Amino acid sequence: MYKARIQPNILQEKDAAIMFPLAILGALVCLGGLALLYLTDDTTNPFKQMYMMPWVFLLGVVIAAPNLYLIHKKRFNLFHPLTFAAWSYFIPAFFFGGLILASGLSQPFYLVFVEDEQYNLPLTLVYIALGYGGMTLGFFFASGRNIGKKISEWLPIWNWNAEKILLPGAILLAIGLGNSIIAFAWGILGYQKVNEVGQYDGLLFLSTLFWLEASFILWLCIFRTPRLRTQHYAVIGLLLLTTIIKAVFQGNRGSLISIFFMVACAFIFSVKRIETRHKIYGAGLLVATLVIGMIYGTTFRSIKTNESRVGLDEYVGTIGSTFDKISNQDATQVLGDGVAAITERIESVSSLAVIVSNYEKLEPYEESYGLRDNIWNDTITAFIPRPLWKDKPMGSDPRRLADLYFSFGENSFTVTPMGDLLRNFGPLSIPLGMFFIGFVLSVIYSTLVENQAFSFWRTTLYYILLTSVSYEGFYGTIAPQMAKYGLMAVIGLLFIRAFQGRRNRA
């Protein structure tokens, strides 16, 4: 009798056991090489000021430890909450970012705002390690897993037919794309912003998430279909077309990499075995989407110059000018600009260090910028719809924080949940606050994924909730954003459920 495969579809133990230690070994080799440069007597050595290296190494150990434990317990999965947080943000932004900063490859202008670099930069890395360590402890806290199991037993078991998902999935995709077009026209999406938030702007933005949800569930259908037919190729073409259009109109450097995450997650949860060729193709696509996204986003922003709201015709004209500029540049220069943009974008230690260095000194001025007690304010007010509260205050605004801490309010700088907790409650709140995030993620993972047969709707809801957590933004927006994204995901799933016919239970 056929037995349903238990999800998540994890990497084979042998593959995981080889891959992650190799990554750690590579990092250690880099550290060793940098250490040798540091110990040389050459006064021209650009790597001379490397007091951060022991703290970067400490952070690497803290990040690696839970993932090595998951490998040992045969629970390793690239989209496990701890592993996903590690490879999608903590490792590139803080571990490799720390290496980049320590080596002198990154020297952002706002480093001048960091007082006593030899104290505050290592302290920043310690706070990051405390944050990831606290999240790890929260995730492995037994109560979260037990609560998730109980909730899972209460949820319905819907055995959806993949063929019956294609049509409602395409309709939901069209709805999300239509709402995205309206949102672009209103200045809600893309590289632009509105001067005054409308009553229904938030609802319109949330409705654009149907595109993301429909895209993910359609990719699940594609990857889980043993033999593709004409309708499947049509869906693949539709997905690729809408993906390219939306990434082009977004005009930012992270659109393509986010799409890569979505497709990779759908693939990993669908296939029975991750083969070597899959890893090679995946690594190539990851690098390509990262470089292309950085080149396009950086060029687009340099042409548009600011986030002022413009007409749709002018916005489309900017897109055309972006492609013209890229095509007329030398390929080597384009690639070099892309690598430089990646280096600048990845490194997030220095921006967090500005907050670490100045949060006590600037605390008296935060109220005038609408930043004081923002965690409580965001959590309390976020669940009240703006149509019911016309004068609802704005949530945490990264540009107001940038104006206060970086003296440059025209850009958004990395805040991170650790930085937000530090500003609001002090150093002790970092591991405690991140413990709570880990606990919530444990409940979600146990409810929707762990030790369960594959389910279209549970996998989709899990992906939406997992990626709703921003490790770059404010801590106060995490819980409201998870709740809102989760609610919209459930609405979309119920829409698709209506096309499945009579409800079946296993």
Q: Does one domain contain both 140 and 12?
A: yes
Of 347, 381, 398, the domain-final residue: 347
Q: Does one domain contain both 89 and 14?
A: yes
Does residue 352 lie within any of the structural domains? Answer: no
Does residue 179 lie within any of the structural domains? Answer: yes
Q: Does one domain contain both 43 and 129?
A: yes
Q: Does one domain contain both 17 and 49?
A: yes
Count the domains in the chain.
Answer: 2
| Helices assigned H by DSSP within 196-330 | 201-207, 209-224, 230-250, 255-268, 276-304, 312-328
At 367 the three-state DSSP class reads helix
Does residue 355 lie within any of the structural domains? Answer: no
CA distance 243 to 287: 18
Q: Does one domain contain both 307 and 171?
A: yes
Read off φ and ψ for residue 32, nearest 5 degrees: -65, -45
Q: Does one domain contain both 372 and 411?
A: yes
Q: Does one domain contain both 168 and 84?
A: no
Does residue 51 lie within any of the structural domains? Answer: yes
Q: Does one domain contain both 252 and 184?
A: yes
Q: Looking at residue 392, what is its pLDDT? A: 64
Q: Looking at residue 337, what is its pLDDT? A: 65
Q: Looking at residue 448, what is its pLDDT? A: 94
Q: Identify whether the C-beta of residue 418 lies closer than 8 Å to the C-beta of residue 430.
A: yes
Does residue 354 lie within any of the structural domains? Answer: no
Domain of residue 395, residue span: 1-154+360-506
Residue 154 burial (C-beta neighbours within 10 Å; 0-12, 13-18, 19+): exposed
CA distance 218 to 162: 9
Does residue 353 lie within any of the structural domains? Answer: no
Q: Does one domain contain both 83 and 130?
A: yes
Q: Quote the DSSP letter at residue 254.
A: S
Of 308, 325, 347, the domain-final residue: 347
CA distance 302 to 297: 9
Of 304, 326, 347, the domain-final residue: 347
CA distance 52 to 50: 5
Q: Does one domain contain both 201 and 333?
A: yes
Q: Does one domain contain both 40 and 137?
A: yes
Enter the pTM of the model.
0.86
What are 464's two structure tokens? 């939406």
Q: Quote the DSSP letter at residue 87.
A: I
Per-residue pLDDT tens listing for the chain (506 residues): 334 445 544 444 444 444 454 455 455 555 555 554 444 444 444 544 578 888 999 999 999 999 999 988 888 888 999 999 999 999 999 999 998 888 877 788 888 999 988 999 999 999 999 999 999 999 999 999 999 999 999 998 888 888 889 999 999 999 998 888 888 777 777 777 766 655 666 777 888 899 999 999 999 999 998 888 899 899 999 999 988 888 888 877 777 888 899 999 999 998 877 777 887 888 888 888 888 888 888 788 778 777 777 777 778 888 888 888 888 877 676 666 666 667 777 889 999 999 999 999 999 998 888 888 888 888 877 777 666 666 666 667 888 899 999 988 777 788 999 999 999 999 999 999 999 999 999 999 999 998 888 899 999 999 999 999 999 989 989 998 999 999 999 999 999 998 876 544 44
Q: Looking at residue 288, what is its pLDDT? A: 84
Q: Does one domain contain both 332 and 184?
A: yes
User: What are the DSSP E strand ranges found in 143-198?
Assistant: none
